[in-house]
Chain A
Amino acid sequence: MVNHRSDHLDRTFAALGDPTRRAILARLEREESASVSDLSKPFAIKLPAVMKHLDVLDEARLIVRSKRGRTVTVRLRPEPIRQAMDWLSRYERFWSKSLDRLAAYAERKEAEARRRER
């Protein structure tokens, strides 16, 4: 259970490592939702290949698919990206405060060194 969330992150990052999948996500980001056949149009690959990419995005929980009649609609799911942002904001807080103090310390040391050099 300890690594539950990092497994999720692994899948998120792996899923984002492919240009076709990033293009699909970018489009869903613009258009909220799209049908699978609409999504496959801009790509020079066949529908089954697009379906495979959608499977990867689905497993990484980056999208949700819903079926109505013969149409499958795809939507973006923000949670995994939010988890990546959580990681960033935790370390941003840690390092930002630390570096402020590091800067103050180094500047004190610099002033001391200059006094000695005079």
Chain B
Amino acid sequence: MTSLRLVRQIRARPSIVFEALTTPEGITSWWGPDAGPVLFADLDVRVGGRFKVRFRMLDGSEHESTGEYLEVAPHKRLVMSWQWTLGGEPDEAGNVSRLEFHFDPIDIGTQLTLTHAQLTTETSRESHGRGWTGALDKLTRRFALASAGDLDVRA
């Protein structure tokens, strides 16, 4: 199981950070890897509801991802499935991953933890949580990227 984990400490209370992730106004203000615009954000924030967000990058390419809300705990936790429906990586077509946000109150505001986990087969899901030992840690260190400080490979 491969997962990416990013942590940000934000000078804003958890309710405000949660709204940034669960309102069209919020999503359209930040979603996407460059300063290109978010074209629309359809959000039905409830368990079983779906989201669809499309953005245009500065190079003109458009990308759209969609998914289902799996857990919605206001100001605390948000879990959804994720897949590209337009302009994603070709080798990821049809693959569903899992996106999880945790909102923890801290002195200055909120610690936001994002976990994006690749889901592949039942087998790999099964191994999820069992934990990879140092073997994989070593393997990944060996091929570590410059930004490895932000990466977390684990079961």
Contact = CB atoms under 8 A, between A and B. Distances in A.
Interface in A12-56: 13-14, 16-17, 19, 22-23, 25-26, 29
Nearest to B21: A102
B59 to A, nearest CB: 14
Mostly, the A contact residues are helix
B134 interface: yes
Given A98-B33, A110-B109, A89 B147 contact: yes
A94 B114 CA distance: 12
B116 interface: yes
A105 B130 CA distance: 37
B17 A78 contact: no
Interface in A98-118: 98-107, 109-110, 113
Interface of B: 1-2, 4, 6, 8, 10-13, 16-17, 19-21, 26, 29-34, 89-95, 109-110, 112, 114, 116, 118, 120-121, 123-124, 126-127, 130, 132-136, 138-140, 142-143, 145, 147, 150-151, 153, 155
